[in-house]
Chain A
């Protein structure tokens, strides 16, 4: 099966007053039609930039796409002119963002904002667009949709705004939905509503979903495949169950074991990953996780490990086979700072 979107060797930098920020450092991934891909990482890991840069949504300058290709149904998004990418964005590729209040226009009512993409991309007339907008709001579970069309964003609650954003995103039957931390600003009970809605719509429409988040819990119940990012690199990629049950990168292992779980009794202390992610301006020449890694060996200092298959479908960027190796240090960050 041909991939819907194939990203190859993407490298994105930002030129700032303090120096060059190495935000994304050569990442490659692909997503199949109908597949849900979770991209997990902490703030500054490049998880959002890695996807938004494909859509022409990072400011250039200060941003710079150093290299890479992004083939969407065989056409390179990064080689497109602005006008061309506009016909894809919001049409074949839809996006929803973290903060539904700042991504909606406060002075236009919800109806105007939904019908905009319908008239722009699908060429519907005003009345047709309005009928379709009501259908869309009903589909995402907003009661009294016809009346709600005349409301302004401030009259909606956070969860309803995110539903309206989803309705807008789905208005042109996209092939791919990119969701950038869509539930981070919402309460857990509302998050559960939104996650269920996206799952249900995904199954009805058959679209692919890229779900960018820092929450390993949400991804566990939603994604087919997961990518873990650290300091602008993909450190691990695999099918969801495989990745959670048999993580192969020390960072993924550390993340999973540092989470307190709702369904388990408490350990005495949580295991934590000591230290901080590296400075993206003074980017380390070796493995970016070296300073915090308890499995590190001398080789890790020389050059960053390439991401390689550890089993069919499962890849990790680590020189060490964590299934057989023993940790080489107990206090990696302290020792690193002493050296």
Chain B
């Protein structure tokens, strides 16, 4: 699948299996002049220890509301709904995916590189607080 990104900002895409579990999250950050565009090619299947899994992409967040994203030239919500149906998601999972709702990945267990970062939106809000800026 081709992900096209038009405009600057950070896009978080979660790839869910038919049960609605996020198996992979990609955070894509694009910077450049007005009119900048990016393309990313991804596979919609992954091999897990439980066997191969088909994936549906969900746009979980956009840092810039002016930024546009398409999946194979199609609106992400429509693509996610159609892909969810194709891989056997329930109607609830498909509806949530179309609305950009997918759980964050939760790496755990032995042998995992951990990530426990705070969401940057919250950090920016706190850093922008006038009281904090005055020191």
Q: Do A and B come from one complex?
A: no
B residues with CB within 8 A of A: none
